[in-house]
Structure 1
Amino acid sequence: VGVAQDVTEAAKHDRAVASMARELRQLVDTANAPIFGIDMLGNVNEWNNKTAEITGFTKLEAMGKPLISTYIVPSLRPSVQEVLDNALHGNETSNYELEFETKSKEIRYLLVNATTRRDAESNIVGVVGVAQDVTDDRKHSQELRKMQYLRASQEAKVETERNMTAYFAHELRNPLHAIDSALNSMPTGLQSEAQSLVDSMQLCTAFMSSIMNNLLDVRKMEEGKMILSSSPLSLKSLLDGVARMLGPSVRPGVEFMVECKVGKRIWVLGDSHRIQQILTNVVTNAIKYTTSGYIKLVIEWENHNVRFECEDTGPGIPVKEQQKLFERFVQRGGAPGTGLGLAIAKHLVDLTKGSIGFISDPSIKPGTSCVVLMPLPECQPPENVVIEKDALIEEPLSFLLIDDIAMNRTMLRRRILKGIAPKSVIKEASTGEEALVICSKESFDIIVVDQYMEEAGGVMVGTDVVFAMRRMRIGSIIIGCSGNDMEDLFREAGADWVWGKPMPSNKTTIRQLRTAFKMKTKEKGKEPAIKENAKPLS
């Protein structure tokens, strides 16, 4: 007797389950994500193709090996063991970063979800890890952090260099200021040889001052703080000033000529100091390279632009090098200097919305012309007077000089008495604190205050002193003095104006004082404290 059972449906079910298992196996093996698994002992029992590709170990090599001791970097083994133990107890973990050591001893970073693996009766039989290879992202992140670190380091280095530049400029300006004041207070009528030495020393101090000004101007350029003022200026006076300043620097045998071809259109609105700086830097460049022949500076009108042309008979500038010379720290042929003059000149010209460029081609003929065009609007002559060249201030002014360096005070005192206001009464203070005590008991016409006064133990800086004086309602003319660019800070504190170091010429200082007193007395409705010793403007 045969007893039969129809197992067709069961067979179909088994075949379906087997088919699904094969499909699942194929899905796991061919998945684009690394998939690996371990049994209850921590040995590998799953290792798909992507895992093999990433690690370099084939499935045959990996199966049965302890996962942690074989493939995980030593530093992470305890924490990975904890994650797997948790999963073997039913506590799954998401987005855990593993560091796999590949066959070639490289490190691959995998972001893993550790999932508990169960059998048909829901018994835990192991752990399956489904991962994402984040090695490239990690490297990019590391590169980004490295770049950010390098950038921050570079910025810190640049800032340190800027601060050091400002510091050294200030420290060098102090002795330079004293030397310049001493030279400007030398007696007149010196013998020709002695006067020649004084003139040479003044040229040297002017050159050193120019270098430091250029360094500080570069910082202004970088920080976007270089701003042009606008006031009436005489093109003829501008040209004459450049000629007087640079004429002695021209080599023997080189003729230096200036021509003012502006006719009656002499007065324009612009920043006299900065335009003079542009011309000075351009002409200085010509002086460096011209050993014979001539240098000619011409000012004329070209439509609505003022055209400055500096022509020289030097070797010329190759066309391909011309634009590079307007970059910072670029020099030609080992010439002396910092390589900043033309870069600063171009920046200033750009601020006026003008243009600057060379006309030169040594392959055709030697020589160079540097042409500057600036749209400077014409204006009427100012309604004031021109101070006579040697018109000292005869009124007995009272000064308070505040500086921590005794030599600076001594030289400034000497300069005031010799070449500015010979009948002045001068008091001194070495710190801001001392100056405030003096000002609480006495009044002064003019107060000159240095910015940094740590040498004498002062805590207050110059801008603090000025602010405190204005709070005390001290109405004196207050002049800030600093080797750094402190004009904005001093003016915000209440200073009438600011001297750099070295301070302006005696003639300029006299004009400043007369103008300041005129403005002060006009505000108060009184007669000027300093009378004008002048002739009408012609």
Structure 2
Amino acid sequence: VNATTRRDAEGKIVGVVGVAQDVTETTKHDRAVAAMANELRQLVDTANAPIFGIDVHGNVNEWNNKTAEITEFTKEEAFSKPLVSTFIVPSLRQSVHSVLDMALNGHETSNYELEFETKSKEIRYLLVNATTRRDDENNIVGVVGVAQDVTDDRKHSKELRDMQLIKSSQEARVETERNMTAYFAHELRNPLHAIDSALNSMPSGLPPVAQSLIESMQLCAAFMSSIMNNLLDVRKMEEGKMQLVSAPLSLESVVNKVFSMHLPSVRPGVSFCTKIDVKGKDWVLGDSYRMQQVLTNVLTNAIKYTKVGSINLIARWEDKCVVFECADTGPGIPKKEQKQIFERFVQRGGAPGTGLGLAIAKHLVDLTGGSICFESDPGTKPGTSCVIKMPLQKCSPPKKVDKNDELPIMEDVRYLIIDDHKINRSMMSRRLKKKINPNAIITEACNGEEALDIVAKQQFDIIVVDQYMEDAGGVMVGTEAVVEMRKMGIDSIIIGCSGNDIDELFKEAGTDWVWGKPMPPNGKILKQLRQGLATLQLRKGNRATQK
């Protein structure tokens, strides 16, 4: 209402005139606006997201409850304080200033990460959308930041990164160990290959003292070979590449071979006996080499710790399983050590060895679907019993080997031996001529490049090639040389020979088979060479027919 005085003709006040406006609806509207503003204020204050604002000078003029909770500064403590210099970590102040200046100039920013320093000096990470704040006339009066607390996500991401770094570091360490294992196995196998070839080419009928020395050296070589095989088997286990072959084998033969191999290692005064109770079920399908390896690894452990008393190796059938039991009178295995007895690189009492034998034995037994366990209670009585069960299928004995197959090859077979170590070439040549093929005609090459020059001019029946030949200045590895030979149309029987576990690489390159270092026993070499020479004749016949 506007109230105006009403006067008469003489100017005397005679009343009041009121000119009014009905503002009922306007008041309702203002109240509604005020209520809405209050509701928005409450929403901002109670929002589950940090919301804060600054004026054009960069001072805080908005600070909701969530922001106060995260930063530990109350609204009263934060208001009118410069946001950047008070709450942002020093390293980010300049960049945050730039972002806020851009917002104050109308250029809004989304998903910008701020690092707030709390009252207790902790760092909180906020992902902020900075929005320009304007008045009724569209003038910029400040900036509002709506944020998300990503501190836990950042910590989780950091933990994941740290875990990934640890995992990558562990994987790199494992790969380094694998490569080192392969390297040392190769480097040790080369001289061992020469020693083994020399021992296997010794003439028979030597004096007893000389024969005894040779047997001792063969035992030492076998022990070294066992250590290297264990190292390489660990790599196969890790890569899931260890496989078993299935062929007829004699349980009695396996046990007797293991017994003969380990008898010289038993301490004087310790009784070492075997008992084979297979009741006419001697022949089974299995992997003879791996079975010997399991028994060897278990027996080695028993021999190592048994200083007095006895060691007994028993083989018997139990339902559909072959059971091997190795019982000794050693000190026994403490209960606390039994839990880790099958772990890799575990050694007891500083005893010699790699600590791999039992881990490999368990892995091999597991591959057969069997079981292996130790029974020992040193607190009650000394001694340990290892029980191995393998579910194996009985089979008929194979045909007897023709004794003529064990005689040396008498033909004039032409060999090319490719190896960068002169002593390896020399010892292999000696073994071939002394024990395998007395009339062998042998040519040598020190690397793949030289070998390719030779095969371009001469023909050979058998080619034996090493893999790594850098010591002789060769750049080409053995598998590359084999590929080139096959491209040249070389029909020869090619045998890869390496101290590394690279059989598949050799086979893919085109070799007929692979020998490890040390080489196989003479009997196996004779058998393979006879098969190879027969295959070579077929190849030559097929080549002639095609022409």
Task: Provide the TM-score with structure 1 as the length reference.
Answer: 0.91
Name the CA distance, whole Å, in 1 between partners of 2:109 and 2:151: 20
Amino acid at match of 2:282: I
CA distance in 2, matches of 1:250, 1:393: 38
Q: Which moved further from structure 2: 203-212 or 6-15?
A: 6-15
Partner of 2:286: 270
Cα offset for 1:200? 2.4
Give the CA deviation at 1:184.
Answer: 2.4
Aligned counterpart, 2:357: 341
Partner of 1:290: 306
Three-state SS of the structure 2 residue aligned to 1:504 is: coil
SS at match of 2:511: coil
Question: In the alignment, does 2:132 pair up with 1:116?
Answer: yes
Q: 1:144 to 1:310 in 2, by over 3 A?
A: same
1:368 to 384, 395, 407: 384
Instruction: Indicate if the aligned counterparts of 2:491 and 2:540 stay in contact, CA closer than 8 A.
Output: no
Determine if contact 1:307/1:372 at 8 Å carries over to the other structure.
yes
Which residue does the alignment assign to 2:64? Answer: 48
Counterpart for residue 248 of structure 2: 232
CA distance in 2, matches of 1:16, 1:252: 107
The within-5 A match list for 1:92-491 is: 92-319=108-335, 321-385=337-401, 387=403, 391-491=407-507
Q: d(CA) in 2 for partners of 1:394 and 1:325? A: 51
Q: CA deviation at 1:348?
A: 0.8
Deviation of the 1:166 alpha carbon: 0.5
Letter in 2 for 1:293: G
Aligned pairs for 1:19-58 (under 5 A) are 19-58=35-74
Unaligned runs of 5+ in 1: 527-538
Compare 189-198 and 345-354 and name the one that shifted more: 189-198
Q: In 2, distance between residues paired with 1:279 and 1:494? A: 35
Contact kept in structure 1, 2:461 and 2:536, CA below 8 Å: no
Residue identity in the other structure for 1:306: V
Deviation (angstroms), 1:518: 5.0
Residues in 2 aligned to 1:282 and 1:373: alpha-carbon distance in whole angstroms: 13
Report the Cα distance in structure 2 between the residues aligned to 1:184 and 1:58, rounded to whole angstroms: 89
The 2-side partners of 1:64 and 1:154 are apart by 52
Deviations 1:439-467 (A, max 9, x none): 22222232211111111122221222223
| Matches of 1:386 and 1:104, distance apart in 2 | 89
Q: Distance in 2 between matches of 1:461 and 1:508?
A: 26
- Aligned match for 1:66, one of 82, 105, 124: 82
Q: Is the 8 A contact 1:387 1:511 kept in 2?
A: no
Larger CA deviation: 87-96 vs 225-234: 87-96
For 2:518, the equivalent position in structure 1 comes to: 502
Contact 2:89–2:116 (8 Å) recurs in 1: yes
Whole-Å separation in 2 of the counterparts to 1:321 and 1:100: 52
Letter in 1 for 2:112: Y
CA offsets 1:334-362 (integer angstroms, 9 cap, x no match): 22111111111111111111121223333
Is it true that 1:3 corresponds to 2:18 in the alignment? Answer: yes
- Structure 1 distance, partners of 2:184, 2:486, is 30
CA distance in structure 1 between the aligned counterparts of 2:539 and 2:449, rounded to whole angstroms: 29
Return 479-488 or 372-381, whichever deviates more. 372-381
TM-score, with normalisation over the residues of structure 2?
0.90
Q: Given that residues 299 and 307 in structure 1 are in contact (C-alpha distance below 8 angstroms), is that contact kept between their aligned partners in structure 2? A: yes
Counterpart amino acid of 2:177? E
Distance 2:25 2:427 in 1: 116
Counterpart position of 2:9: none
Q: In the alignment, what sits opposite 2:5?
A: none
CA distance in 2 between counterparts of 1:49 and 1:260 reads 84
Q: In 2, Cα distance between the equivalents of 1:407 and 1:359?
A: 48
% of aligned pairs identical?
71
Measured in 1, the distance between the counterparts of 2:362 and 2:459 equals 46
What are the superposed Cα offsets for residues 510-535 of structure 1, whole Å, 9 maximum, x if unpaired?
A: 33333444565578899xxxxxxxxx
Q: Deviations over 1:115-146 (max 9, x none)?
A: 11122233221111111111111111111112
Distance in 1, Cα, partners of 2:284 & 2:503? 25
Q: Is the 8 A contact 1:405 1:456 kept in 2?
A: yes
Q: How many angstroms apart in 1 are the aligned matches of 2:28 and 2:228? A: 95
Which AA in structure 2 matches 1:508? Answer: K
Structure showing greater radius of gyration is 2
